[in-house]
């Protein structure tokens, strides 16, 4: 008999977003990504171009790309 490990829990993913230059940019990107189902936390840092997302399950990159596009920026990929 084999035991399965329960690996459910928060997933943290770091994305690279190009074009952010200020706090307003951070807020726009965070606001759009936070609307994706399952996202519990978003932290965008314009200086590094990194956006850290905590979600209930792994996110679909296309959903994140669409949200970033809506905010007026470009998803460069995962960090």
Q: Spell out the domain ranges in the chain.
A: 11-78
pLDDT tens readout for residues 11-53: 999 999 999 999 999 999 999 999 999 999 999 999 999 999 9
- Does the domain at 11-78 match CATH 2.130.10.10? Answer given as no
pTM of the model: 0.88
Phi first, then psi: what are they for 27, rounded to 5°? -65, -40
Give the pLDDT confidence score for residue 9 in this predicted structure: 82
User: Quick one: tokens of 34?
Assistant: 């936070």
Interval 49-74 mean pLDDT = 97
Report the DSSP beta bridge partners of residue 4.
none
């Amino acid at each position: 008999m084999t035991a399965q490990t329960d690996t459910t829990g928060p997933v943290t993913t770091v994305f690279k977003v190009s074009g952010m230059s200020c706090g307003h940019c951070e807020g726009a990107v965070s606001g759009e990504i936070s609307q994706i189902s399952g996202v519990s936390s978003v932290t965008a840092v314009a200086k590094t171009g990194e956006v850290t997302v905590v979600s209930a399950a792994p996110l679909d990159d296309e959903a994140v790309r669409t949200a970033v596009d809506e905010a007026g920026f470009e998803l460069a990929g995962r960090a």
